[in-house]
Structure 1
Amino acid sequence: MTAAPRFPFSAVVGHDDLRLALLLNAVHPRIGGVLVRGEKGTAKSTVVRALASLLPPLDVVADCRFGCAPSSPDPQCPDGPHDSASTQRPAQLVELPVGATEDRLIGSLDLERALTEGVRAFQPGLLAAAHRGVLYVDEVNLLHDHLVDLLLDAAAMGRAHVEREGVSVSHAASFLLVGTMNPEEGELRPQLLDRFGLTVQVAASREVATRTEVVRRRLAFEADPVGFAAKWADADAELAAHIRAARDRVEQVALPDAELRRISALCASFDVDGMRADLVLARTAIAHAAWRGAEAVAEQDVEAAARLALPHRRRRDPFDEPGMAEDQLEQALAEAAEHAEDDGDEPPEGPDGPDGGGQAPDGPTEPTGGGGAEERSDGRAPADKAPAAPTPAFRARLLEVPGLGDGAPGRRSRSRSRSGRTTRSSTVEGHGVHVAATLAAAAPHQVARGRSGPGLVLRSDDLRREIREGREGNLVLFAVDASGSMAARERMSAVSGAVLSLLRDAYQRRDKVGVVTFRGDSAELALPPTSSVDIAAARMRGLRTGGRTPLADGLLQVQRVVQRERTRDPQRRALVVLLTDGRATVAVNSGLSGRDRAQRAVDDALRAAGLVAETGAASIVVDCENGMVRLGLPARLAAALGGPCLRLEELSAENVAGVVRAVRDERPRAA
């Protein structure tokens, strides 16, 4: 059966940077792949899938499941040694779905042969299929963390290693990694971001003529895919021939010392970490020169490479926006030109250059912002204060939800999981087959069952399933007291810095976060729960303070958000982090005044805390009281919420000896 034609690469309208980045990687696969960032509906996937049809066909060993080249087969190939004839096949485009399992990615024990023939045989996964081709990961920012780690290892080493279920296998896995993502759905881990050689930002054109042509071509393709593809076949064939010619000459392209100094100066100017950027920039410039048919790299090649290789490497903090302004690049290019003209005879001042390696200070750079904002003349009450600059970020201690969950994969709380370590076997629950336990259950009965051959005689009651324990991401809901009693600039700076530190921790642990603030007369859902943690950080930096303390209303808002999110995502457990000094001053529907009103406000807050506890959400109260006189209300709130009470300074991991869990599960573990 003939596969349906893909949308032709040559027929794509616009997206010049994206097409160039893909073509350069096709010319020089060691560039390291492409990350495509952009809003939904911008043809990211269409362009990537169209690339595969342009790649040159591969010579492979006929019976090799791992795509070995006949001229240089992998000496460790599980299907080797190879004696069979070679054949030719198209380059593979292998798609890794977001919901893929670890077995599907790296391969696993062939259970059918293990249980019927009694032999250990390896069933290859997607990494084997992608060898010498393209591995495409749509929505790469939503990929499970354990799969990201495996992907990183294979991409860095060019090999996949499998150690599981008694199988030990290593095979070649060299591929062009292409990922697409929508930043609105959350950012990418910095470790994976840096692995992509190039990055491209795509957006829908605002030009009417361009948008019209996009729609016209797409409708024509949908009406007659075969005819439309045939119309563009010559253009695609010309591009494919151009790729082959550029591949043939890329190894002969010279990189003059002047351009190498230009590359190093550019990377130093943008203060990128490590040396990967220099290597990627050099390879990209060489590929660009080969693409335009030049014999040596020139300034125009370095400039084109810098636009694709440097923007995502400027991101020094999880909450920094990737990208760079045009004037920044122009200034860096102007400065780099001086180094290119230098003869380069001066020796370095140390083993790694004048600065001994140019390492950044320990820990992430804390972005500024939020401080020094002018008072808005929009009728706000005089108590409404401009946001204070947050204190420097710190490494936050681990805050966990008690018990064992079943939520989305992440790195915060313990959970039952399809990945992670195997803790035991079961006959009634779990995921996948626990091979050792199944074989152990069947072994004592083989004589009674009349076994006569090499295979095992199995029955349904022999089957044992794996119970695995991993980590899950949670809904972390911050409830921040922004009232007048918290509005001293030093204290609010410390609170904002603490929340930013916790947000950075949530980013690293793949949580979903929301922010509720309360001040004045009511509470506000400042940020509905989202996976885009950088948006939450921006809201916190702009947090204004002042007014009274509607603590009860803030907790009631928390209760509503938790209940609503539980309906939307029943398996994602919630962790409420309340930062307050506990000085409630606004009662719910109260006409009282003076001391009675204050007492009613406290009583209402405690009752509201009880309602939050009834939702089943885990809670932590961060006591922000200071001064000589402390009322101890945060501790009472923590008791009503059923969680611990921490001092603000106790959120730092450095202030806690060893590994501390803020929420301890006193209940026995579920069987």
Structure 2
Amino acid sequence: MGARFPFSAVVGHDDLRTALLLNAVHPGIGGVLVRGEKGTAKSTVVRALAALLPELDVVADCRFGCAPEVDAECPDGPHGDASAHRRPARLVELPVGATEDRVIGSLDLERALTEGVRAFQPGLLAAAHRGVLYVDEVNLLHDHLVDLLLDAAAMGRAHVEREGVSVSHAASFLLVGTMNPEEGELRPQLLDRFGLTVSVRASRDVAVRTEVVRRRLAYEADPVGFAARWQDDDADLARRIVDARARLASVVLPDAELRRIAAVCAAFEVDGMRADLVVARTAVAHAAWRGAEEVAEEDVAAAVRLALPHRRRRDPFDEPGLEEEQLEDALRQGAEHAAQDPDDDPDGPDDGPQGGSDGPDGESGGGAGESRDAPGKSTSDGRTHTPAPAFRARLLQVPGVGEGAPGRRSRARSAAGRAVRPSTVDGSGVHLIGTLQSAAPHQNARGRSGPGLVLHASDLRRAIREGREGNLVLFVVDASGSMASRQRMSAVTGAVISLLRDAYQRRDKVGVITFRGAAADLALPPTNSVDAAAARLRSLRTGGRTPLADGLLRAKKVLDTERVRDPRRRPLLVLLTDGRATASGVGGDPVDAALRAASLLVGTAAVVVDCESGFVRLGLAGRVAATLDAACLRLEELSADQVAGVVRAARAA
């Protein structure tokens, strides 16, 4: 195996390298989330970091990587006079498909079944202790696993309570997650748990791109020789990490800088107090890194740039990041507070932005999720510009039990879900109780004596597990004049935005088809990036005739393609229409053509949202729903606040 690409040889990505180094100095910062498009060397930089970390003194034969100064709570302890040895800090990579058992550890089944003792088999958290835990594509990981990782990173310990095992062990590591936003976002609650975040993108500067390619080709031609050329630079960084760690405890955080931190966080209206703590820790680490004895304004400014961008994102469709002008305004406010004597006016008013006042969050009167192209009333150019009402959407589910991608919408077989029953045929992992129950009645006949069980292959039971899956939610939206003329597009697009927010939270893949005029348009091919769908809806064009049949036929074509591309992900069709059909590209009566097209989609889980209004209603949306064998809901019934219960998306499983 060749040498890793040197950390010092990475071209650009200054913020990313700074964030990683500061976490190496102060693991209490809480890790780094690296956001960026594919091919931007995210993984390369992270893997190179591990080589910079100091070597560790480790107790021999300790599975938890304890230092010689004994951890009294180590499950492998007490270590007593056990010998120690030195080894490099580990880089442990967590695969996307990892199960909870693999991450936190589990009961050692071999010893439990053969020796009759309860023993713990450590997981990846134990292996990463005192090193780096790297999660590529962290946005595709099960949410409960991300929660578990972040809890361990914050507390420095992992606690396991399962299958009769109760274990607590040290798990102090530098957590680094990378993700491509095009494949979907992390929930804001999980984003906030990462200490720092950095967005990376490929440089558009020709000279920089040329140097990137030159160094990469040189590394591929001779990895060992290339690493040797950068050995001194990497060694210097490694020494600086050791020195900064030693200096960290003595760095002073003056009250003036603490007030600056609080003022900046208040100006950006971040939720909770985690941001203030992370900025403070990062500023202290930055001061230690540059060799200072106390935190200064430059340390706070550097910390704010890394710790606040992802914490401003309150809505799934808010753009992450900080505008430079907003940051300067916030730092200016922070400077005023830093210079203020706290005893002058301890009960004075908050200087942060209030109500509709101008501030770092944007223009006066702006709200989370709003934009100049928010969906709503049609204008002369056919686009929508009036803010659309949004609400908490009720749960739409695909019936039956699937086997699709991890998510939070419909029932599914899942290797990481809860065990619902034992099976002799299939399943994931051993169903311990089922196996014991199968073997217990035969122990006398098998001549058992002493502890442990006498097991035969026929006793083995596997666990059938159930969890939740994400689905492909395909929105088919009527954008014709019959919708816009009644000023209903604001309500319709508001409903779709609400459903998209729900899809974001449930880890769905989404697509959007609109139909108007003479044909249907695939406004957004199926994607994991639901904010891209929201952006398309905010510039939705309306008007013209109603080619309902074309919209349904386009939906069938898209679903057929997706079944080949991603066969395990079950689709949910959401049709928003008033049922009217005034045009058809397939000939014949438009209504009959629409019903024939609907019949081709029978068997696909579907929901028809009836957008018809007025005293006289034709009920055509209900006819389409009956043909689809789908539930038919009124537009107002999509709100979970008004309707109780769960909607089954289709009557047929």
TM-score by length of 1: 0.92
Query: Is the alpha carbon distance of 1:665 and 1:636 closer, same or farther for their aligned partners in structure 2, counting shifts above 3 Å?
Result: closer
Question: How do 1:366-385 residues align onto structure 2 when only pairs under 5 Å count?
Answer: 366-371=369-374, 385=382
Question: Helix, strand or coil: the match of 2:615?
Answer: coil
Distance in 1, Cα, partners of 2:346 & 2:642: 40
Is the 2:518–2:585 Cα contact (8 Å) retained in structure 1?
Answer: no
Question: Helix, strand or coil: the match of 2:419?
Answer: strand
- The amino acid across from 2:131 in the alignment is G
Distance in 1, Cα, partners of 2:344 & 2:2: 60
Of residues 411, 415, 440, the one that matches 1:414 is 411
Of residues 153, 157, 181, the one that matches 1:183 is 181
Is the 1:94–1:136 Cα contact (8 Å) retained in structure 2?
Answer: yes
Query: Is the alpha carbon distance of 1:258 and 1:49 closer, same or farther for their aligned partners in structure 2, counting shifts above 3 Å?
Result: same
Equivalent in the alignment of 1:541 = 538
Using the TM superposition, give the Cα deviation of residue 349 of structure 1 relative to its aligned residue in structure 2, in angstroms: 4.4
Distance in 1, Cα, partners of 2:434 & 2:200: 50
Cα shift readout 1:478-505 (whole Å, capped 9, x = no counterpart): 0000000000474110111110000000
Of residues 480, 491, 505, the one that matches 1:508 is 505
Of residues 637, 647, 651, the one that matches 1:661 is 647
- The amino acid across from 1:461 in the alignment is S
- The amino acid across from 1:248 in the alignment is A
Question: How do 1:447-486 residues align onto structure 2 when only pairs under 5 Å count?
Answer: 447-486=444-483
Distance in 2, Cα, partners of 1:604 & 1:349: 70
- Correspondence 1:392 to 2:373: no
- The amino acid across from 1:133 in the alignment is G
Using the TM superposition, give the Cα deviation of residue 70 of structure 1 relative to its aligned residue in structure 2, in angstroms: 2.6
Using the TM superposition, give the Cα deviation of residue 120 of structure 1 relative to its aligned residue in structure 2, in angstroms: 1.5
Of residues 609, 627, 630, the one that matches 2:614 is 627
- Correspondence 1:365 to 2:368: yes
Equivalent in the alignment of 1:558 = 555
Question: How do 1:153-552 residues align onto structure 2 when only pairs under 5 Å count?
Answer: 153-346=151-344, 349=347, 365-371=368-374, 385-488=382-485, 490-552=487-549
Using the TM superposition, give the Cα deviation of residue 158 of structure 1 relative to its aligned residue in structure 2, in angstroms: 2.5
Equivalent in the alignment of 2:590 = 601
- Correspondence 1:574 to 2:571: yes
Distance in 1, Cα, partners of 2:299 & 2:560: 55
Cα shift readout 1:602-657 (whole Å, capped 9, x = no counterpart): 111111111111xx320001111111110011111111111111111111110013
Is the 1:132–1:174 Cα contact (8 Å) retained in structure 2?
Answer: yes
- Correspondence 1:648 to 2:610: no
Is the 1:562–1:617 Cα contact (8 Å) retained in structure 2?
Answer: no
Is the 1:412–1:509 Cα contact (8 Å) retained in structure 2?
Answer: yes
Paired positions, count: 642
Equivalent in the alignment of 1:596 = none
Distance in 2, Cα, partners of 1:664 & 1:611: 15
- Correspondence 1:81 to 2:78: yes
Equivalent in the alignment of 2:25 = 27
Deviates more, 1:31-40 or 1:84-93: 84-93
Deviates more, 1:624-633 or 1:220-229: 220-229
Question: Helix, strand or coil: the match of 2:601?
Answer: helix
Using the TM superposition, give the Cα deviation of residue 348 of structure 1 relative to its aligned residue in structure 2, in angstroms: 5.1
Equivalent in the alignment of 2:93 = 95
Cα shift readout 1:403-461 (whole Å, capped 9, x = no counterpart): 11111110000111112221111101211111111121112212222334533222221
Query: Is the alpha carbon distance of 1:500 and 1:371 closer, same or farther for their aligned partners in structure 2, counting shifts above 3 Å?
Result: closer
RMSD value over aligned CA atoms? 2.3
Distance in 2, Cα, partners of 1:281 & 1:496: 38
Using the TM superposition, give the Cα deviation of residue 153 of structure 1 relative to its aligned residue in structure 2, in angstroms: 2.6
Is the 2:395–2:647 Cα contact (8 Å) retained in structure 1?
Answer: yes
Question: Helix, strand or coil: the match of 1:6?
Answer: coil
- The amino acid across from 1:644 in the alignment is A
Using the TM superposition, give the Cα deviation of residue 101 of structure 1 relative to its aligned residue in structure 2, in angstroms: 1.5
- The amino acid across from 1:44 in the alignment is K
Question: Helix, strand or coil: the match of 2:144?
Answer: helix
Question: Helix, strand or coil: the match of 1:467?
Answer: strand
Distance in 2, Cα, partners of 1:78 & 1:469: 31
Cα shift readout 1:5-61 (whole Å, capped 9, x = no counterpart): 211111111111111111111111111111111111111111111111111122232
Deviates more, 1:287-296 or 1:150-159: 150-159
User: For structure 1, which runs of at least 5 residues remain unmatched after alignment?
Assistant: 377-381, 592-599
Query: Is the alpha carbon distance of 1:321 and 1:371 closer, same or farther for their aligned partners in structure 2, counting shifts above 3 Å?
Result: closer
Query: Is the alpha carbon distance of 1:70 and 1:490 closer, same or farther for their aligned partners in structure 2, counting shifts above 3 Å?
Result: farther
Question: Helix, strand or coil: the match of 1:654?
Answer: coil
Query: Is the alpha carbon distance of 1:371 and 1:39 closer, same or farther for their aligned partners in structure 2, counting shifts above 3 Å?
Result: closer
Equivalent in the alignment of 2:130 = 132
Distance in 1, Cα, partners of 2:619 & 2:323: 50
Question: How do 1:33-48 residues align onto structure 2 when only pairs under 5 Å count?
Answer: 33-48=31-46
User: For structure 2, which runs of at least 5 residues remain unmatched after alignment?
Assistant: 356-360, 362-366
Is the 2:153–2:172 Cα contact (8 Å) retained in structure 1?
Answer: yes
- The amino acid across from 2:524 in the alignment is L
Is the 2:261–2:276 Cα contact (8 Å) retained in structure 1?
Answer: yes
Distance in 1, Cα, partners of 2:569 & 2:307: 37
Cα shift readout 1:346-386 (whole Å, capped 9, x = no counterpart): 56549x9799x99x9xxx9342332599999xxxxx7x632
Distance in 2, Cα, partners of 1:185 & 1:265: 35
Using the TM superposition, give the Cα deviation of residue 225 of structure 1 relative to its aligned residue in structure 2, in angstroms: 1.7
- The amino acid across from 1:429 in the alignment is D
Equivalent in the alignment of 1:639 = 626
Deviates more, 1:283-292 or 1:80-89: 80-89
Q: What's the % identity of the aligned pairs?
A: 74
Using the TM superposition, give the Cα deviation of residue 279 of structure 1 relative to its aligned residue in structure 2, in angstroms: 0.8
Of residues 13, 23, 39, the one that matches 1:15 is 13
Query: Is the alpha carbon distance of 1:346 and 1:631 closer, same or farther for their aligned partners in structure 2, counting shifts above 3 Å?
Result: farther
Distance in 2, Cα, partners of 1:122 & 1:95: 21
Is the 1:405–1:571 Cα contact (8 Å) retained in structure 2?
Answer: yes
Is the 1:389–1:541 Cα contact (8 Å) retained in structure 2?
Answer: no
Distance in 2, Cα, partners of 1:344 & 1:399: 53
Query: Is the alpha carbon distance of 1:472 and 1:418 closer, same or farther for their aligned partners in structure 2, counting shifts above 3 Å?
Result: same
Distance in 1, Cα, partners of 2:83 & 2:316: 51
- The amino acid across from 2:593 in the alignment is D
Is the 1:403–1:665 Cα contact (8 Å) retained in structure 2?
Answer: no
Question: Helix, strand or coil: the match of 2:390?
Answer: coil
Query: Is the alpha carbon distance of 1:337 and 1:353 closer, same or farther for their aligned partners in structure 2, counting shifts above 3 Å?
Result: closer
Equivalent in the alignment of 1:595 = none
Deviates more, 1:519-528 or 1:205-214: 205-214
Using the TM superposition, give the Cα deviation of residue 64 of structure 1 relative to its aligned residue in structure 2, in angstroms: 1.7
Distance in 2, Cα, partners of 1:310 & 1:535: 23
Question: Helix, strand or coil: the match of 2:58?
Answer: strand
- The amino acid across from 2:239 in the alignment is A
Using the TM superposition, give the Cα deviation of residue 269 of structure 1 relative to its aligned residue in structure 2, in angstroms: 1.2
Deviates more, 1:114-123 or 1:620-629: 114-123
Using the TM superposition, give the Cα deviation of residue 332 of structure 1 relative to its aligned residue in structure 2, in angstroms: 1.6
Distance in 1, Cα, partners of 2:621 & 2:464: 39
Using the TM superposition, give the Cα deviation of residue 157 of structure 1 relative to its aligned residue in structure 2, in angstroms: 2.8
Using the TM superposition, give the Cα deviation of residue 568 of structure 1 relative to its aligned residue in structure 2, in angstroms: 0.8
